[in-house]
Structure 1
Amino acid sequence: MSHLDEIQQAILNGRLDAIAELPVPESYRGVTVHADEVDMFEGLESRDKDPRRSLHVDDVPTPELGPGEALVAVMASAINYNTVWTSIFEPIPTFKFLRKYGKLSPLAKRHDLPYHVVGSDLSGVVLRTGAGVHNWKPGDEVVAHCLNVELEGPDGHNDTMLDTEQRIWGFETNFGGLAEIALVKANQLMPKPAHLTWEESASPGLVNSTAYRQLVSRNGADMKQGDVVLIWGASGGLGSYATQYALNGGAIPVCVVSSPEKAEICRKLGAELIIDRTAEDYKFWKNENEQDPKEWQRFGAKIRELTGGDDPDIVFEHPGRETFGASVYAARKGGTIVTCASTSGYMHQYDNRYLWMNLKRIIGSHFANYRESWEANRLIAKGLIHPTLSKTYSLEETGQAALDVHRNAHQGKVGVLALAPEEGLGVRDEELRAKHLDGINAFRGA
């Protein structure tokens, strides 16, 4: 039996106190991209680039454990858009991030390799902790958020997202969560929600924390009761959490989706005001270079029809180029457009008259700091926010999972099993789970 097998069996048999005594494997399987393949999709449109070609499952050496760090045995992980971007080498190959990080210090040099182990979510068990780690020990069941910070300069000590050396783990650093072992900083760790399986608890991390900061936190839109919140992609990885936060916080979500099936998911979450943009056939762009303000107006009229005359107080933006002009137009006077991504393109265009003359605000929001991530995970652990896992793949099928997300052929979040041999394992609080089973399973089979 290999060292990894011993670790897996100890976890599955509940012998977590034995983890500290088991040897750490010298290598493990991880999902990687290769530096010598960054040109493999040259000449192809983004939509035609296939992550199944670029994502590999390789045996890689276990990295050296540094001060303030932890090695985690990964039971499950999940797919995010940053893994898709990594796999198609857009907007730039992530090896540029790893090279830059590698110049920071001799310890950071570990990350600058000709392969990149990807993934920004995990649930698992702590294997080892480095010098100076006091809050975590081998055998602890954990999830990880993806903020990697150095905090040696002053800028990050008010909000760690402003640290000059802030990075996203598994995207701008190496040794990510789509693997059997992951390397994280100890201040990325949070308790695993006891009522969830490994794959369920792995899936919220990045998107749940991002949605919390973007919508709830004072660093984002600072949502309050009664706010009308327009949510693009309301059944997707980000939008499904935004919808839950709006409902939990006494706001009124207006959910924008692209099919009747996605609309039904939003209804399962409790939303009532839904726009099927495909059925309405909105065409915000006349051509590649010119938008159609009449379509913005038609869209705004639809929102007011649903809300009884109210424009959105907050627009939860992440599609980017395709929708941003409509978002700026649709927000009410004095309203807020808060953006965290640009999945349809980074170069936004909007009519600035609707922004300045109506005193609207655009807020940039990127992931979340440790406190925000902790609060978001605490709401998951209490059963107040639920995972949005729809489907789970094996580690060997990660390329297909990423392709599904790339082509938007998924709902909510897509999970990946690592050391967990099957779905349904890892539940410690059956009583709490039973109370929330419908919410936990809302996206299953979608």
Structure 2
Amino acid sequence: MTTLSETVLSGGTPEEIERADVPREYLAAHLDAADTDMFRGMRDKDVRKSLRVGRVPTPELAPDEVLVAVMASSINYNTVWSAMFEPIPTFRFLKQFARQGGWAARHDQPYHVLGSDASGVIVRKGSGVRRWNIGDHVVVHPVQVDDQEPATHDDAMLGQEQRAWGFETNFGALAEYSVVRASQLLPKPAHLTWEEAASNPLCAGTAYRMLVGDHGARLKQGDVVLVWGAAGGLGGYAVQFARNGGAVPVGVVGSPEKAEAVRRLGCDIVIERSEIELDGDPSDDPAQVIAIGKKLGTIIRERTGRDPNIVFEHVGRATFGISLFVASRGGTVITCGSSTGYQHVYDNRYLWMRLKRVIGSHAANLQEQSECGQLIGSGRIVSTMSQVFPLSETGEAARLVQKNGHIGKVAVLCQAPSAGLGVTDQRLRDEIGAERLAPLVDVGGTQ
């Protein structure tokens, strides 16, 4: 452990942190550019084989950046895609970014440090950073934008230079240290542990924009919201936002264990995939898609009295046609991903003749992330973390997500020596209740 790490972990003052030397190298979960063809022709692209945990050089900071000592991170599906080198190797993103020149050129390296969620402590800041100081406890908004681009000032997600941090940029979160733009920083909720806080940003912010924000489905009280993969990282937050906003969440899950997890998050109506005979990808058989849709629609009407106003879609090819079929007349399907495949097949009659809408959504802008963080900070939205792995076992954590063997979010301890650390407002934590703040931990287990 370096002197800087020791100083941070011992609760050193900002002055003591600043006096401690930044190490020339740090431990990080990363990909190697030489491995990009390693899975060619293979069916099982086991991410444990491509994700390396080793030392990489510490980059120099740009004026608008900070260096964060990462206490904890979490696994998102973009890390799985990266480690599978699909749909393209992410080294192409780094080269594209580097073509801007200047500070962007640093990102084109023969290694790619992954990770888009982080909680930690600022240990250095660039000369242009104004609102943040060394020693601040922060979480990281997982979107990097260009503040000199006009579209960014309308909605940051519309900017051409908007990038997913730790996926389309280097020096991400699954590491002892990470490079972060000041425009990505938000205060860490003081009542949460490092790993609870790190599990929230990407999935919670994405779900917030999809359901609550002005750019999404504009959820309102009384809406029926169908949530696919309700026990996953995104789905677990979608259930909470729907319930918190006075809507009726209907969760679809793959097992009784996952059904129990979703009920703990406040979803009273839970449908297992076996009830609608959904096994695998039915999208190549239009008749089967409609048959499954009819079964699902019947169950939802029996339990809620009507069709879903909003379908929260991120599964992709295997469910998209069903989603479009079951959405109510004039209803909305909002999609942010395609974990089962990007090429969606659906019957367009159910879109145009029943006046439905499809909305594409991607991550969140900083204002939406801040609003989401306020709900988390008040205890109204809670972490969906179920398991915690050490940084050395990042490959195992990512493999669990790759195989859909997880519930909620899978956290990774980076510099935090153990789980349960980082709480600076114990009174609020006690008031809300620790069991309420991480309701899925004993469902998913810990490592």
Aligning the two structures, in what range does the TM-score lie when normalised by the shorter sequence? Answer: over 0.9
In the aligned structure 2, how far is the partner of 1:286 from the partner of 1:128? 51
Provide the C-alpha distance between the structure 1 equivalents of 2:217 and 2:13, rounded to a whole number of angstroms: 41
| 8 Å Cα contact 2:145/2:159 also seen in 1 | yes
Structure 1 length-normalised TM:
0.96
- Measure, in 2, the Cα distance between the counterparts of 1:286 and 1:69: 46
Q: 1:367 deviation in Å?
A: 0.2
In structure 2, the residue matched to 1:9 is 6
C-alpha deviation, 1:294, in angstroms: 1.9
1:274 and 2:263 correspond: no
Secondary structure of the equivalent of 2:147? coil
Gaps of 5+ in 2: none
Match of 1:363 in 2: 359
Q: Distance in 2 between matches of 1:341 and 1:414?
A: 19
* Corresponding residue to 2:341 among 334, 341, 345: 345
SS of 1:74's equivalent in the other structure is strand
Compared CA separation, residues 207 and 277, structure 1 to 2 (3 A) = same
One of 290, 295, 298 as aligned partner of 2:295: 298
Quote how far apart the aligned CAs of 1:331 are.
Answer: 0.6
Q: How has the CA–CA distance of structure 1 residues 285 and 192 changed in structure 2, closer, same or farther, with 3 Å as cutoff?
A: closer
Verify the 8 A CA contact 1:284 1:323 in the aligned structure 2: no
1:290–1:332 CA distance, 2 compared to 1 (3 A)? closer
1:16 CA displacement: 3.4
Alpha-carbon distance between aligned partners in 1 of 2:5 and 2:420, rounded to the nearest angstrom: 15
Q: Report the CA distance shift for 1:291/1:16 in structure 2 as closer, same or farther (over 3 A).
A: farther
Q: Deviations over 1:274-312 (max 9, x none)?
A: 11112442358557464521221121111111112x101
- Give the alignment partner of residue 42 of structure 2, picking from 44, 50, 59: 44
Provide runs of 4+ in structure 1 moved above 6 Å: none
> What CA distance in whole angstroms lies between the structure 1 residues aligned with 2:30 and 2:10?
30
| Partner deviation per Cα, 1:92-126 (whole Å, 9 max, x = no partner) | 10001000000012210000011100000111100
The partner residue of 2:374 within 369, 373, 378 is 378
1:13 CA displacement: 2.3
Alignment partners' CA distance in 2, 1:168 and 1:385:
23
What are the Cα deviations for residues 204-241 of structure 1, in whole angstroms up to 9, with x where unaligned?
Answer: 11101000001110101111111100000111100000
RMSD between aligned alpha carbons? 1.3
The aligned residue for residue 311 of structure 1 is 307
3-state SS in 2 of match to 1:53 = coil
Query: What is the alpha-carbon distance in structure 2 between the residues aligned to residue 163 and residue 441 of structure 1?
Result: 35
Aligned residue pair count: 440
1:22 to partner: Cα distance: 1.5
Change (3 A) 1:283 1:354: farther
Q: Deviations over 1:404-426 (max 9, x none)?
A: 00001110000111111111111
Q: CA offsets per residue over residues 48-88 of structure 1, 9 Å max, x none?
A: 11111000012111111002111100111100000000001
Q: Is the 8 A contact 2:324 2:351 kept in 1?
A: yes
Distance of 1:240 and 1:16 partners within structure 2: 37
Distance verdict in 2 for CA 1:284–1:41, change over 3 Å: closer
Q: CA deviation at 1:354?
A: 0.5
DSSP-derived class of the 2:411 partner:
strand
1:54 aligns with 2:80: no
Contact 1:285 1:291 in 2 (8 A): no
Distance 2:319 2:287 in 1: 10
Deviation of 1:9 after TM superposition, in Å, equals: 2.5
Please point out which of 149, 155, 159 is paired with 2:155.
159
> 8 Å contact 2:283–2:345 — kept in the other structure?
no
1:300-337 deviations in Å (ceiling 9; x for gaps) = 111111112x1011000000000000100111011000
Change (3 A) 1:110 1:289: farther
Displacement, 1:159? 0.0
What is the match of residue 442 of structure 2?
A: 445
Query: Which AA in structure 2 matches 1:16?
Result: T
Sort the Cα spacing of 1:163 and 1:268 in 2 relative to 1 into closer, same or farther, 3 A.
Answer: same
Structure 1: distance between partners of 2:273 and 2:285: 21
Output the amino acid matched with 2:313. E
Pair 1:137–1:285, CA change in 2 (3 A): closer
- Cα displacement string for residues 185-220 of structure 1 (whole angstroms, at most 9, x for unaligned residues): 001011111111111111111101000001110101
Task: Name the CA distance, whole Å, in 1 between partners of 2:371 and 2:126.
Answer: 25
CA distance in 1: counterparts of 2:395 and 2:284, whole angstroms? 31
Read off the aligned partner of 2:222 and give its amino acid letter: G
- Contact between 2:253 and 2:270, CA under 8 Å: does it hold in 1? yes
1:98 matched to which residue of 2? Answer: 94
Tell whether 2:108 aligns with 1:112: yes
| CA distance in 1 between partners of 2:58 and 2:348 (Å) | 51
Aligned match of 2:74: 78
Residue among 430, 433, 437 paired with 1:436: 433
Question: Which of 18, 21, 24 matches 2:19?
Answer: 21
CA shift in 2, pair 1:266/1:285, >3 Å:
closer
Q: In 2, Cα distance between the equivalents of 1:291 and 1:86? A: 34
The answer to whether structure 1 residue 191 and structure 2 residue 187 are counterparts is yes
AA at the equivalent of 1:8: S
1:399 equivalent to 2:395? Answer: yes
TM-score (norm 2): 0.96
Runs of 5+ unmatched residues, structure 1: none
| Residues 1:264 and 2:260 are matched in the alignment | yes
CA contact (8 A) 2:196 2:438 kept: no
